[in-house]
């Protein structure tokens, strides 16, 4: 990267060791993505909670604070893994609370505004059009890019903190005009009628456009979405597709017309959501039994409008004694809900209104084990995507049906439409395959040894056994990080251990937790020895840089097409090469 005088001074330690370390981390990520230089940012939003970062991440943050690091732009943080006032109501571990309190003190020492919210754009400081920011939490990023027209990449917790200390971020990805143009045209013929439908729409698209570097352009919508509906759409596009941007023609600021959204180019792909497609999306989440252990309204945290609607639906009713009703919001909305009577209505119905947290962050696996929870019902398609990795059977339904289930104790039956699949991919044959898989077609296997070449990567050279998946990868969505095994039952590597193996995936998926989680996994001995992608997203590169886990992408040929599980690989990130040394499992 090209450094200015200010950056060279930081690197030389003139602003202290914490800033020098922060800039070195940013340069490693920027070099990986070919950034030419840095851009100044006006604000930072970072993920920092113990469930994702573990004690290794806490130690890193504490060290940066001890070295005198201090945020030089307004910096907020994401929800925590506990509600400090109500953790005992759920039987959470006291050690978790102690660690979160230590983290809070470290963040405050760094000058972070510890507001514990994933909806900072609704209650703290909405970004302005073309403003450059460095935000984490994928839902905040896609809202900033798409709805506000601001500019940011996915900034995982470590590099977000680095941006807070340096006041800048590498210029690549969604800071560039070209990257923000639409690539996939989505014609919507099934009109959303409620807020959860917008989440279903994000789910439907994200399952088919699973690539951080793609930008869907939505046309055909006959309804004007509310801010909460745009929040759900964006959060689910980001969760299912690892997408950081979308255009909704006639609604979002960079899509006054289709031509503007596409930059005058033809789309690379076309998708059509036919009538019945949204209903089919709900139907893809089926309960294993008729009773829900938990009904959760969360992910993202609820706005005051959403809290008011939930209070209205629960007024005068009582939650079934065998079902736990959980609601999450931030501190500002909790205070407003107390004043307006919404909190009382939720509490009197038997719900638990939690502040400053989000359910999937709340040591969800340990809660399931403690309480015997298995089936969770939610109106959040995002939560339904994340929580299976923690051992839950997730069922996604509209808000009113979730309330009915919480009161009756029974999950209403739901079936797909009988008049068709509700989807029709258009364009090339590749578009059809993209509906069911994000991996490219496999080539006929060649004999070893042979070499894959690409750009320089991250981390040192290593050797090891390949573990190949046709699915995407997220340390949060897919792994039990304590054991290093795939815990998501629908993943094609379910039950496999990543420990000491070289992971090969077509793409990264999901949220920003992996930027912390890889370092924690390395610290406790459950990390892979290297990761290869067809194309990585920023979170994976950021996490690999912090943990110094070797990572390469954009290799020729694509490892997904020529490498099989059990092959012995020699990965050399400085050289940008991977050698398939021999076929079959190592002796």
pLDDT of residue 332: 97
**CATH architecture classification, 450-582:** 3-Layer(bba) Sandwich (3.50)
Using an 8 Å Cβ cutoff, are 47 and 156 in contact?
yes
CATH superfamily assigned to domain 5-175:
Aconitase, domain 3 (3.30.499.10)
List, by residue range, all CATH 3.50.30.10 domains of the chain.
Answer: 450-582
Count CA atoms closer than 13 A to 414's CA, side-chain side. 25
Specify which residues 170 forms β-bridges with: 38
Task: Give the pLDDT of residue 489.
Answer: 94
pLDDT at 440: 62
Closest CA to 201 of 180, 221, 179: 221
Check: CB of residue 246 under 8 Å from CB of residue 218. yes
Largest CA distance in the chain: 70
Q: Consecutive 10-residue runs of the chain (587 residues): their mean pLDDT?
A: 98 98 98 98 97 96 98 98 97 97 98 98 95 97 99 98 99 99 99 98 98 98 97 98 98 98 98 98 96 98 99 98 98 98 98 98 96 98 97 98 97 63 35 40 75 97 98 93 95 97 93 92 97 97 97 97 97 98 72
**Coil vs helix vs strand at 193:** coil
Query: What is the rounded distance in angstroms from the CA atom of residue 500 to the CA atom of residue 522?
Result: 10
Beta bridge partner(s), residue 531? 503, 551
Nearest residue to 527 (alpha-carbon basis) of 550, 507, 487, 500: 500
Per CATH, is 287-408 categorized as 3.30.499.10? yes
Say if residues 515 and 162 touch (Cβ distance below 8 Å). Answer: no
* Residue 230 contacts residue 135 (beta carbons within 8 Å): no
Q: Which phi and psi angles does 303 have, rounded to 5°?
A: -80, 170
* pTM beyond 0.85: yes
pLDDT at 438: 52
Determine the Cα–Cα distance for residues 388 and 161; give it in Å rounded to an integer.
29
- Helical ranges in 191-226 per DSSP H: 195-208
251-278 in b/e form (b: 16+ CB < 10 A) is: ebebbeebebbbeeeebbbbbbbbebbb
Contact 525, 495 (CB under 8 A): no
Write down the pLDDT at residue 379.
Answer: 98
Report CA-CA distances (Å) from 347 to 179, 420, 542. Answer: 46, 42, 41
- How much is the pLDDT for 439? 57
Neighbours of 339 (CB within 10 A): 10
Comma-separated ranges of CATH 3.30.499.10 domains in the chain: 5-175, 287-408
């Amino acid at each position: 990267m090209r450094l200015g005088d200010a950056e060279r001074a930081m690197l030389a330690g003139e602003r202290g060791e914490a800033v020098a370390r922060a800039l070195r981390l940013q340069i490693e990520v920027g070099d990986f993505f070919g950034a030419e230089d840095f851009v100044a940012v006006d604000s930072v939003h970072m993920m920092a909670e113990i469930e994702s970062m573990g004690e290794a991440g806490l130690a890193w943050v504490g060290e940066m604070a001890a070295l005198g690091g201090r945020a030089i732009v307004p910096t907020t943080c994401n929800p925590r893994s506990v509600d400090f006032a109500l953790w005992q109501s759920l039987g959470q571990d006291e050690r978790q609370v102690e660690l979160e309190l230590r983290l809070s003190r470290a963040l405050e020492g760094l000058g972070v505004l510890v507001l514990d919210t994933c909806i900072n754009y609704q209650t703290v400081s909405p970004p302005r059009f073309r403003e450059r920011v460095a935000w984490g939490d994928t839902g905040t990023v896609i809202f900033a890019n798409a709805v506000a027209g601001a500019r940011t990449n996915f900034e995982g917790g470590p590099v977000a903190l680095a941006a807070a200390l340096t006041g800048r971020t590498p210029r690549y990805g969604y800071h560039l005009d070209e990257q923000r143009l639409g690539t996939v045209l989505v014609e919507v013929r099934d009109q959303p009628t409620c807020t959860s439908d917008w989440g279903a729409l994000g789910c439907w698209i994200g399952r088919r456009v699973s690539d951080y570097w793609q930008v869907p352009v939505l046309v055909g919508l006959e309804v004007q979405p509310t801010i909460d509906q745009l929040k759900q759409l964006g959060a689910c596009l980001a969760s299912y597709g690892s997408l950081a941007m979308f255009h909704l023609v006639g609604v979002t600021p960079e899509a006054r017309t289709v031509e503007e959204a596409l930059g005058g180019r033809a789309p690379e792909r076309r998708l059509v959501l036919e009538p019945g497609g949204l209903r089919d999306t709900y139907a893809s989440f089926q309960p294993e039994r008729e009773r829900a252990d938990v009904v959760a309204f969360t992910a993202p945290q609820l706005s005051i409008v959403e809290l008011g609607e939930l209070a209205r639906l629960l007024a005068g009713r009582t939650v079934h004694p065998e079902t736990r009703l959980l609601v999450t919001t931030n501190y500002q909305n909790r205070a407003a809900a107390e004043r307006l009577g919404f909190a009382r209505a939720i509490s009197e119905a038997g719900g638990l209104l939690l502040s400053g947290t989000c359910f999937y962050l709340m040591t969800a696996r340990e809660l399931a084990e403690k309480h015997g929870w298995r089936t969770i019902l939610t109106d959040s398609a995002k939560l339904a995507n994340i929580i299976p990795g923690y051992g839950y059977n997730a069922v996604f339904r509209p808000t009113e049906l979730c309330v009915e289930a919480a009161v009756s104790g029974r999950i209403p039956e739901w079936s797909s439409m009988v008049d068709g699949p509700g989807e029709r991919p258009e364009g090339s044959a590749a578009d059809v395959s993209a509906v069911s898989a994000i991996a490219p077609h496999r080539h006929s296997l060649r004999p070893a040894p042979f070499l894959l070449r690409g750009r320089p990567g991250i981390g040192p050279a290593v050797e090891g056994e390949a573990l190949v998946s046709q699915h995407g990868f997220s340390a949060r969505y897919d792994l039990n990080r304590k054991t290093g095994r795939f815990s998501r039952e629908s993943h094609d590597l379910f039950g496999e251990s990543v420990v000491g193996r070289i992971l090969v995936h077509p793409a990264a998926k999901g949220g920003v937790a992996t930027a912390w989680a890889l370092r924690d996994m390395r610290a406790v001995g459950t990390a892979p020895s290297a990761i290869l992608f067809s194309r990585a997203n920023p979170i994976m590169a950021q996490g690999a840089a912090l943990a110094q886990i070797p990572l390469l992408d954009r290799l020729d040929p694509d490892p997904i097409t020529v490498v099989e599980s059990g092959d012995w690989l020699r990965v050399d990130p400085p050289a940008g090469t991977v050698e398939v040394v021999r076929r079959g499992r190592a002796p």
